Amino acid sequence: MKKIFIFLLLSAGIFLFIAVEGSHRTLRSDIFSKDTLSNISPKDYFSTESQLVNTILTRYHYRKFKLNDSLSSVVFDRYIESLDHSRSYFLESDIKSLENYRYKIDDFIMEGDVVPAFDIFNVYRHRLIYIMKYADSLLNKEFDFTIDENFEIDRSKSPWPKSEGELLEIWRKRIKNDALNLKLTGKEWPDISETLRKRYNNLRKAVLQYNSDDVFQLYMNAYTSALDPHSNYLSPITFDNFNIDMSLSFEGIGATLQNDEDYTKIVEIIPGGPASRSGILKVNDRIVSVAQGEDGEFIDVIGWRINDVVKLIRGPKGTVVRLQILPEGAGADFIPIVVSLVRDKIILEEQAANKSVLELTRDDKSYRIGVIKIPKFYTSFNSKDQSETKSTTKDVKKLIKELQQENVDGIIIDLRNDGGGALSEAIELTGLFIKDGPVVQVRNSDGSIEIGDDPDPKLFYDGPLVVLVNRFSASASEIFSGAIQDYGRGIIVGEKTFGKGTVQNLLDLNRMIPNSENKFGQIKLTVAKYYRINGGSTQNLGVIPDIQLPTAFNHDEFGESSEKNALPWDQINPTDYQKVGNLSSVIPELRERHLSRIEKNAEFDYIFEQIEEYNANRDRKFISLNEDIRKKEKEAEEEKTFQRENLRREKLGLKLLEKGEIPKDSPDNDDILLKETGNILADFIELEIK
C-alpha cells in the first residue's frame, strides 16, 4: 500500500503538497484559504475509455503520429490553455509545479491514468472559487474612477502572475473595468454591484456544476486538438445535446452558439431565421445579456454555461427576446448594442438556395445579374409533405432556369458564410457548369486517393459566372470554388476562404465495447484530406480569389491557418482534366477596373475607414480605468462615427442625420460588396464580348 504524506507551508498563502510514495505525481495546489470544497474524481471506467480513444486516434487519424514526449508537451499546453486562456487563475509557481506532468501525459494516456488531469482541474477549480469570493468582496464599495491606471485587455500571451497579490491585482482591474463599462451605460453603483455579483456568482456556479464527465471531455479534447482542430471527443450528454440541436426544427432566433471563455459567441447564423433577418447580428458577435419581451429586465449571461443561455434565448414562436451584443472586434470599453428579435420556427429544410436579381446601370447600359445564394450544401432531407427529397444541385438548377427566363446577363454564386456540407453536392453542383471531368481528390489516411467525378456528362449553364466567397466559406464551398477556378470556368471574387480541407468521421465508442454497463462518449476524428484537381490542398491555404475584396480579417487570426495544430497545406499529383477557359488574360484588366472603381466610391471609403478602425482596436493592448478619459474617448468615437456616416450620406445623396439619430437607409456592407461583385461580372461580360 502506498503511503501518503501531507505537508503544510505558509508563504504567500497556504500551499498544499501531496506526495504519493512510489507514484509519478507530486502536485502543488495553492488554494489561498481553508477551502472545504471537495475535489472532482474520475469515474472508474475513464481509464478504459481513455485507452480506447488513444487506440482509435493512433490507428485511424489521418495524421500519422507517435504519442511521445513531444506530443505530450502539446497536450499539456492545450489542457492548461483550455482552463486558463487568459492566464488569470494559475500562478507561475503552479505552472512550474505542474510542469512535472508535461512529458508524462503520453505515459498516462497509454496506461489509462486520468487522475493527473483531474488533479490539474481541481487546482484550477479551487483557484476560481477563491477568486470569485474576492470579486464579491470588492463589490461592497464603489471603485474610485478618478485614478489613472490601465487594464490589460488580452492576457493570453502575458506572463503568469508571480504571486497571489499580482493575481488579485489583475482581477481587481478586470472587475473595475467591468464596473466602469456598466457605469458608462448610465447605471448607478447599486445596480452595477448587483449585476456584477450575479455575473461572478454565475461563473462560480458554472464551475461548481462541472462533473467528472465535463473534466474528462476537456482532457480528451486537449489530446484530440493537439492532432488537429476538427477532431473532438464528445461526452454522452454533449452528444445527446448535439443530436437535439441537429433536429429538423426548433423555435428560437436561428443562430448556433458556443462558449468563448466567459462569453456566449455566435458561430453560425441560420439563413432565413430571425437573427439573419435582423441584418445586425453577425458571426463572432458575443451575447452579454438576454431579456424577455419588449420591456423585460436584462439578465447578464457572462460566465453562464451555454445550455443555460440557450434556454433563455429559445422560446415560443411569436414572442420577443432582446439581446445585448458586443460586435466582433469591439474593445473592452464598447457599450453593448440592443437587438430585438421575434422568435420563429426554424425549419432546417428552409435553408435552401435562393435567388435575386441585381440591376446595374453603367454608361447608359443596363445589366441584369442573377444572384444565387447557397447557405449550405444540403441533400437528402424531406420536404414538409415528405413526397420528395431536396438537394442543393436540384434547387440551383431550378433557380438557374428561372433566372434565364428573367433574361439575366450572368450569374453570381454567393457562397459567403457557407460552411460546407455534403461533398456529393459540391461535386454535382460543379457539374452544372462543366461538361464532365473530375472535381475533387480525396486522400485517405492509408494514402489511397479517390477522385470525385462529375456524374452528369451534360453542361447545364455555360454563361458568364462569378463565385463570391469570404473567410467563412469552407469545406464543400472551397471544393466547388476551387474546381471552378481550376477549370477556368468562372471568376472567384471575395476574401481568401477558410481553409478547411479535411474530412471527419464520428465513431460511437459504445460499439467498441457493446456489452459494457457504462455509457461512453463519441469520437470525431479526421480521416482524410481534400485536394483540388490541380493537386493543391484546400487545407490551411484555402482558395485565393482572382479578385480580392477589402477585408478586416487577418488570416493569422481567422480561419484554419489561425488554428493551433492545423494540418499543413501540401500537394499531390494533379489529376487528368481539361480547362474549359483561360481567364489569365482578363483577370488583370478586371482587377484594375475594380481597384479604380472602389477608389472613387464613397461606400468603399466608409468600408476602408471601418477596417482601419477595427485594426486599431484589435491592436490596442490597454484601456484606461479613468472615467473622464473613457468618457472623452467614447464621445470622440461617437462623434467620429457620426461625422463619417454623414460624410458618406452626403456623397450618396442621402438625408443627413441629426445627432443621436439611428440610420435606417444606409446600405449594408454585404450589399455594397455584392454590388461590386456584380460590377466585376459586368466587366467580365464586356471583355468577353470584345
**Cell of residue 615, nine digits:** 485594426
CB-facing half-sphere around the CA of 111: CA atoms within 13 A:
10
Strands 491-494 and 547-548: parallel
Where does the pLDDT of residue 397 fall: very low under 50, low under 70, confident under 90, or very high at 90 and above? very high
| 513 and 631 both lie in a single domain | no
Q: Tell me how far the alpha carbon of residue 307 is from its chain's centroid.
A: 17
| Residue 524, pLDDT above cutoff 70 | yes
CA distance 119 to 138: 29
Residues 6+ apart with CB under 8 A from 292: 312, 315, 319, 320, 321, 322
| 553 and 627 both lie in a single domain | no
| 201 and 251 both lie in a single domain | no
Residues 6+ apart with CB under 8 A from 648: 602, 603, 605, 606, 666
Q: Which of 29, 391, 475, 624 is catalytic?
A: 475
Candidate ranges 29-43, 108-122, 610-624, 644-658; pick with highest mean pLDDT: 108-122
Where does the pLDDT of residue 245 fall: very low under 50, low under 70, confident under 90, or very high at 90 and above? very low
| 612 and 560 both lie in a single domain | no
Percent of the chain's residues with pLDDT above 90: 58
Choice among 183-187, 248-252, 406-410, 423-427 with the minimum mean pLDDT: 248-252
Choice among 444-448, 503-507, 617-621 with the minimum mean pLDDT: 617-621
pLDDT of residue 25: 40
- Asked whether 224 and 563 are in contact (CB, 8 A), the reply is no
- Among 527, 551, 579, where does a domain finish? 579
Q: Tell me how far the alpha carbon of residue 238 is from its chain's centroid.
A: 18
pLDDT of residue 383: 46
| 505 and 406 both lie in a single domain | yes
| 388 and 342 both lie in a single domain | no
- Asked whether 270 and 254 are in contact (CB, 8 A), the reply is yes
- 16 in a structural domain: no
Chain length of the chain: 690
CATH number, residue 475: 3.90.226.10
User: Residue 369 forms beta bridges with which residues?
Assistant: 358, 410
Mean pLDDT of the 665-689 span: 87
Closest by CA position to 427, among listed 482, 346, 469? 482
| Residue 14, pLDDT above cutoff 50 | no
Helix axes 115-138, 164-183, angle to 10 degrees: 50
pLDDT of residue 62: 96
| Residue 410, pLDDT above cutoff 80 | yes
| 406 and 555 both lie in a single domain | yes
More confident residue, 259 or 301: 301
| Residue 663, pLDDT above cutoff 80 | no
pLDDT of residue 331: 59
Q: Tell me how far the alpha carbon of residue 304 is from its chain's centroid.
A: 18
Q: Which of 93, 500, 537, 624 is catalytic?
A: 500
Q: What is the 3-state secondary structure (H, E, C) of 284-307?
A: CCEEEEEEECCCCCCEECCCCCHH
Candidate ranges 139-143, 183-187, 341-345, 375-379; pick with highest mean pLDDT: 139-143
What is the average pLDDT score of the chain? 86
CATH number, residue 297: 2.30.42.10
pLDDT of residue 332: 57
Number of domains present in the structure of the chain = 4
- 285 in a structural domain: yes
At residue 611's C-alpha, the angle toward residues 609 and 612, to 5°, is 65
Choice among 2-11, 217-226, 521-530 with the minimum mean pLDDT: 2-11
Residue whose cell numbers read 453603367 = 362
Class of residue 85 by CB neighbours under 10 A (exposed 0-12, middle 13-18, buried 19+): middle
pLDDT of residue 249: 42
For 188-225, give the DSSP string: -HHHHHHHHHHHHHHHHHHHHT--HHHHHHHHHHHHHH
For 469-496, give the DSSP string: E-TT--THHHHHHHHHHHHT-SEEEES-
| 317 and 389 both lie in a single domain | no
Residue 451 vs residues 64, 249, 279, 575: alpha-carbon distances, Å? 22, 35, 40, 8
- 485 in a structural domain: yes
Give the domain range for residue 95: 24-226
pLDDT of residue 336: 82
CA distance 293 to 296: 5
Residue whose cell numbers read 459567403 = 416
| 199 and 262 both lie in a single domain | no
Candidate ranges 264-273, 295-304, 583-592; pick with highest mean pLDDT: 583-592
| Residue 36, pLDDT above cutoff 70 | no
Closest by CA position to 230, among listed 462, 24, 475, 401? 475
Residues 6+ apart with CB under 8 A from 66: none
CA distance 320 to 309: 15
Closest by CA position to 484, among listed 537, 545, 421? 545
Candidate ranges 249-263, 458-472, 510-524, 613-627; pick with highest mean pLDDT: 458-472
- 121 in a structural domain: yes
- Other CB atoms closer than 10 Å to residue 236's CB: what's the count? 16
Computed on alpha carbons and rounded to an integer, the radius of gyration of the chain in Å comes to: 27
- 165 in a structural domain: yes
| Residue 380, pLDDT above cutoff 80 | no
pLDDT of residue 689: 72
Q: Which of 486, 537, 561, 683 is catalytic?
A: 486
- 164 in a structural domain: yes
pLDDT of residue 13: 31
- Asked whether 136 and 197 are in contact (CB, 8 A), the reply is yes
| 458 part of the active site | no
Candidate ranges 329-338, 359-368, 492-501; pick with highest mean pLDDT: 492-501
The model's pLDDT over 560-606, given as tens digits with 9 standing for 90+, comes to 988 889 999 999 999 999 999 999 999 999 999 999 999 988 888 88
Q: What's this model's pTM, rounded to 2 decimal places?
A: 0.83
| 452 and 357 both lie in a single domain | yes
CA distance 628 to 412: 50
Percent of the chain's residues with pLDDT above 70: 88
Number of H helices, E strands in the chain: 18, 26
Strands 410-414 and 438-444: unpaired
Mean pLDDT of the 408-424 span: 93
| 100 and 219 both lie in a single domain | yes
pLDDT of residue 640: 87
**Cell of residue 619, nine digits:** 491592436
- 557 in a structural domain: yes
- 183 in a structural domain: yes
pLDDT of residue 274: 84
What residue type is assigned to position 345 of the chain? K
* Three-state secondary structure call for residue 344: strand
pLDDT of residue 9: 27
What residue type is assigned to position 221 of the chain? N
CA distance 129 to 359: 60
Q: Tell me how far the alpha carbon of residue 438 is from its chain's centroid.
A: 31
Where does the pLDDT of residue 619 fall: very low under 50, low under 70, confident under 90, or very high at 90 and above? confident
CA distance 328 to 331: 9
- Asked whether 476 and 501 are in contact (CB, 8 A), the reply is no
- Among 320, 346, 372, where does a domain finish? 346
| 196 and 260 both lie in a single domain | no
The model's pLDDT over 116-149, given as tens digits with 9 standing for 90+, comes to 999 999 999 999 999 999 999 999 999 999 999 9
- Among 226, 250, 280, where does a domain finish? 226
